[in-house]
Structure 1
């Protein structure tokens, strides 16, 4: 499935769900922490296990920068050497993936964008909440909390999510697993800042 493989090389998941061309300016961390701005930076790793051949079908890793102003979400994805691969921009009206070569795909929301790019539905919009250590406003199952009352694990939208190593902004480690009929998708995020 070439579109699937290409998507994960450029978008890496999540998951879910890159940056303009390598010459485009990278998002900057805010100099002052505005309450309406939520930013995180770190590393991601994504693996797709193909159950039909019983081996890893695709794997990608790199860095990310997440900037959420409530009105707009920008997610930059970078390769392990720091070069920008793609940008995902989400507004209340649309979600757009812009590849490094300038080509882009636009959809109504992040989940529709993933469906458009992959040709199958894999919900990713919950990541906006999970990164903050909260569940998305949808059905949640198997919710577990740690001794401090913080989310430790839960299942939502077909994802088994584990959160740990909290700081003042939320979890610094996120693990997400989606077990489908023919494949298992695993995404790991480690927050550096």
Structure 2
């Protein structure tokens, strides 16, 4: 796979982990448990999938800053070099890579369709980093160490594997596994997200 396409794929998969829906998924979420509209965190990401009979793997890190109505993400390769920045607002989603013109679309789903050729479903994923989801029946799901698996309304299987504070009333996740059997011509897509402890970028 050409390096520019691999970097774009990494950027969008990291967007999957970090962007998740911006304003469109925030309705009524602030009233549910410990959900916060404003949050800053960092972490690591690994992506594995099959396409055209080949197995692909990507690794890197992300820094995520979320405020009401906006999400900004910086994506880095394993050496710590910035690969891309992504900004999502209710009006648009923009991906910027060094040496390339920014790519802007009306929303993050359209942006992934344009850059990858298939739409990566990110609506609702803003919840996942905080331990929430919308299940297959459309009900709100709050993860906990005792109840740590869910299939989302759009077909992703989530496992909240480890926790920052497992004894809290609503613990914050540390490690999340997300998988999907097929998305377009991508098969066996598996994403592992490791969120840094609070206070660490």
Q: Which TM-score band applies after superposition, normalised by the shorter structure?
A: 0.7 to 0.9
Using a 3 Å threshold, how does the CA distance of structure 1 residues 126 and 101 change in structure 2: closer, same or farther? farther
Match of 1:170 in 2: 172
Q: How does 1:63-78 map to 2 (within 5 A)?
A: 63-78=61-76
SS for the counterpart of 1:15 is helix
- TM-score scaled by length of structure 1: 0.74
Unaligned runs of 5+ in 2: 20-35, 166-170
Tell me the distance in 1 between the aligned counterparts of 2:145 and 2:79. Answer: 38
**Structure 2 residue aligned with 1:106, among 89, 96, 104?**
104
- C-alpha contact (below 8 Å) 1:41/1:66 kept by paired residues: yes
1:123 aligned partner = 121
User: Is 1:161 aligned with 2:165?
Assistant: no
Residue in structure 2 matched with residue 192 of structure 1 by the alignment: 196
Structure 1: gaps (5+ residues): 19-34
The 1-side partners of 2:11 and 2:119 are apart by 18
Distance of 2:144 and 2:135 partners within structure 1: 21
**1:150-173 Cα distance to aligned partner (Å, 9 max, x none):** x51211212111113223672111
Higher share in helix? 2
Shift in CA distance, 136/116, structure 1 to aligned 2, threshold 3 Å? farther
Q: Is the 2:18–2:126 Cα contact (8 Å) retained in structure 1? A: no
Q: Give CA-to-partner distance per residue, 1:116-137, whole Å, 9 cap, x none.
A: 2112122023221111111149
Map of 2:16 onto structure 1: 15
> In structure 1, what is the Cα distance between the partners aligned to 2:37 and 2:18?
22
Distance 1:9 1:184 in 2: 16
**Cα 1:48–1:17, aligned 2, differ >3 Å: closer, same or farther?**
farther
SS at match of 1:93: coil
Q: How many residues align?
A: 171
Tell me the TM-score normalised to structure 2 length.
0.72
Tell me: CA distance 1:104–1:136, structure 2 relative to 1, closer, same or farther (3 Å): farther
**Contact 1:42–1:191, Cα closer than 8 Å, also in 2:** yes
